[in-house]
Amino acid sequence: MNSIKSLIDTLYDTANLTDDQLLMILTEIKSTEDLQYLFDKAVSKKASHYKDAVYMRGLIEFTNYCKQNCNYCGIRGLNTTVDRYRLDKDMILSCCKEGYQLGYRTFVLQGGEDPYYTDARLVEIIKAIKIQHPDCAVTLSIGERSRESYVALKMAGVDRYLLRHETASKELYESLHPNMSFENRRECLYTLKALGYQVGAGFMVGLPNQTDEDLVKDLRFLKILSPEMIGIGPYIPHEHTPLKGAHGGTVEKTLILLALTRLLVPKALLPSTTAMGTLDPKGREKALKAGANVVMPNLSPTDVREKYELYKDKICTGDEAAHCRQCIEGRIKSAGFSVDMGRGDHANFKSEHSSKALFTIVE
């Protein structure tokens, strides 16, 4: 057995390796045989916790206004070519209703950092969703907010929060995020965890100037934080950003990082991202076959889909929710997995856990 395979075996058995060993896999893994070995191990680890289930989440992109200016992101505030939109409470509720009828039991509300959505407005929206759909989980993904805000949102019923750390290299983070703080973003993740949210961190692969050493830092950060969800996708350039003309990440490198993440944080919920499907028509199936176990089909109204353009040529912008549901189901089955329309909580998570954690803190 070669040294790469034996490292993968150690990682499989112990859910850990040293930084140098991780770096060695990242830099040396090349042969189709070793790659397949890694992906198969990742799928087998996933199966030991989640069998062959792939969880579905209905994604609602409810605002493309953003006060931040991340250099990679198509909806950054300074991009004046974006046609900005917001969905009001009724529109969001009608997306949820349609999603519910299609079988979704998790709604992910994602948007730019839009000051219009004050705590009061969000609390009203979330409570309304929870009243209409008490059996559903609500996930928010709206960037950095204050601790008080995260408390208010948790109390209103939010179950989960996605906040990718984007990159665990301080230098790279600061070069990509004007006027944002590397420390604050991490602090937000720890706060969300302490408040009892199921937390999602994650990073992009193939950012300009990102090295394999930087990616090892991402893996180490995830191992330490051990978030319930981990979003990993290739960086894809957008022409109306300062990084236009950059190369972007590849499907293959992203698959390697997905698989390594599955083995390092075995119970994590790992989405097969739209960005993978954008780079490769079979990208999402490949991600499932490298250890991913979540997909997030779009429930946003079709007339706003194109306006939520984080990167070039984002797919599925013209498709109705029902079409997305069918299309993804077909992809999951063709990859050899089965669709799970339940809430899809993390393997360790009991729903009463979330309220208890908050209760102790608020007391």
Q: What does the binding site for ligand SAH look like in residue numbers (CB under 6 A)? A: 72-73, 110, 112-113, 141-143, 163-164, 166, 204, 233, 235-236, 238, 275, 310-311
In the numeric block, the tokens 């040294």 are attached to 3
Q: How far is the CB of 166 from ligand SAH (least distance, A)?
A: 5
- Nearer of residues 112 and 291 to ligand SAH, judged by Cβ: 112
Cβ closest to ligand SAH, residue 42 vs residue 163? 163
Give least dist CB 179 to ligand SAH, A: 14
Our CB check for ligand SAH shows the closer of 114 and 340 to be 114
Q: How far is the CB of 80 from ligand SAH (least distance, A)?
A: 17
Cβ-proximal residues to 216 (8 Å cutoff; 6+ apart), any chain: 19, 22, 23, 26
Select 95 or 279, whichever has its Cβ closest to ligand SAH.
279
The residue type at 148: E
Q: C-beta of 73: minimal distance to ligand SAH in Å? A: 4
- Rounded to an integer, what is the distance from CA 268 to the centroid of its chain? 11
Q: Give 7 or 257: the residue with its C-beta nearer to ligand SAH.
A: 257
Rank residues 204 and 256 by Cβ distance to ligand SAH and give the closer one.
Answer: 204
Min dist. Cβ of residue 13 to ligand SAH (A) = 31
CB of 212 to ligand SAH, least distance (A): 19
- In the complex with ligand SAH, the residue whose CB is nearer, 30 or 244, is 244
Strand pairing partners for 356? none
Distance CA 129, CA 127 (A): 5
Nearer to ligand SAH, 105 or 164 (CB): 164
In angstroms, the Cα distances linking 137 to 118, 160, 342, 361 are 21, 8, 9, 21
Q: What is the DSSP string of 192-231?
A: HHHTT-EEEEEEEES-TT--HHHHHHHHHHHHHH--SEEE
Q: Which is nearer to ligand SAH, 73 or 129 (CB)?
A: 73
- In whole angstroms, how close is the CB of 203 to ligand SAH at the nearest point? 7
Residues 6+ apart with CB under 8 A from 170: 182
Cα radius of gyration (the chain): 19
What one-character-per-residue DSSP string does 133-181 give? -TTSEEEEE-----HHHHHHHHHHT--EEE---B-S-HHHHHHHSTT--
Helix (H, G, I), strand (E, B) or coil at 309: coil
CB of 177 to ligand SAH, least distance (A): 10
- Cα separations (Å) of 305 from 152, 301, 309, 315, 335? 29, 7, 8, 10, 27
Residue keyed to tokens 């609390």: 123
Q: Nearest distance from residue 151's CB to ligand SAH, in Å?
A: 18
CA–CA distance, 331 with 342 (Å, rounded to integer): 18
The phi and psi torsions of 343 (rounded to 5 degrees) equal -60, -30
